[in-house]
Amino acid sequence: MKENKIIIGSTQFGLSYGISNTKGKTKENSINKILKLSRKKKVRNLYTSNYYGIANQVLGKKNLKAFNIILKFKKNGFLKKNIINEIKKTSKILRKNINTIIIDNFESIPKLRAKKIYKNLISLKSKKIINKFGYSIYSFKNLKKVCNKYRPDIIQCPYNIIDRRIEKNNHLNFFKQKKIEVHIRSIFLQGLLLMDLKKIPKKFMPWKNLLVTWQNWIKKENITAVEACYSFVSKSKFISKILIGVNNFSQFEEIINSKIKKNLRFPDVSSQSNNLINPINW
């Protein structure tokens, strides 16, 4: 069986995270089931961070032999002099070597710091401490310049039916030409795209018409919101991996077993509003 595109995000393993999350951190029994089904479905990548509460401690008690570890760092956290020791410390907690490092919000880093971080990443890769490195980005402004100057192995960015910025300015073709893997996240917009209209917080009322159009289209096509979101992002041949976060096993099971619906004519519900597409502003 071919390796699954899905990357399991461990945020909810250590923190209560997501607008649709009403039950707090993922229960240990659910985590065990998620990892077991992941192995069966050829999911080979786990995404974690030292900033995800107790996620690393929880994962460190599990058998992670089948998985590659992708570790996220905040931009300032990677400038520490003892960064190699910190990576080794995390590796020891997880009982697994770190395969890939992702630097968060790299596009906003001042030039001198970006240059230093890039130099450190190249050094870690040349010393075979890691195999790959990449950047988690929130803005696509000047992204091509950043990638030309500090070429990563991976770009991780948001992409969903509402946030379609990656489709602009020929970004996907650019990444392909540069041989940069594209990992996408936020395919459910932190769960907003899966929520019943009656449960959506009032702060999203400015986009009510957009969300109503989305929900009506799902009903018309007779598919689930999960299938719709997953089918939308899966249609692009340029996307290498899909990062998902789950609150419980049943949610993960629904996602992993979702069938990609081909030939769907998706509604135009895209938005450029930063207050909607960027959860930092929520």
- pLDDT tens per residue across all 282 residues of the chain: 688 999 999 999 998 655 544 557 899 999 999 999 999 999 999 999 999 999 999 999 999 999 999 999 987 777 777 889 999 999 999 999 999 999 999 998 999 999 999 999 999 999 999 999 999 999 998 899 999 999 999 999 999 999 999 999 899 999 999 999 999 999 999 899 999 988 999 999 999 999 999 999 999 999 999 999 999 999 888 999 999 998 899 999 999 999 888 889 999 999 999 999 998 888
Q: What is the pLDDT of residue 18?
A: 52
Q: Is residue 1 one of the residues assigned to a domain?
A: no
**Domain count of the fold of the chain:** 1
CATH number of the CATH domain containing 63: 3.20.20.100
Q: What is the pLDDT of residue 1?
A: 66
Q: Is residue 267 one of the residues assigned to a domain?
A: yes
DSSP calls for 130-191: -SEEEEE-S--TTHHHHHHHS--SEEEEE-SSS--GGGGGGHHHHHHHTT-EEEEE-TTTTT
Q: Is residue 72 one of the residues assigned to a domain?
A: yes
Q: What is the pLDDT of residue 21?
A: 45
pTM of the full predicted structure?
0.93
At residue 266, φ and ψ (nearest 5 deg) are -70, 145
Q: Is residue 110 one of the residues assigned to a domain?
A: yes
> Residue 116 belongs to what domain range?
6-281
Amino acid (1-letter code) at residue 175? F
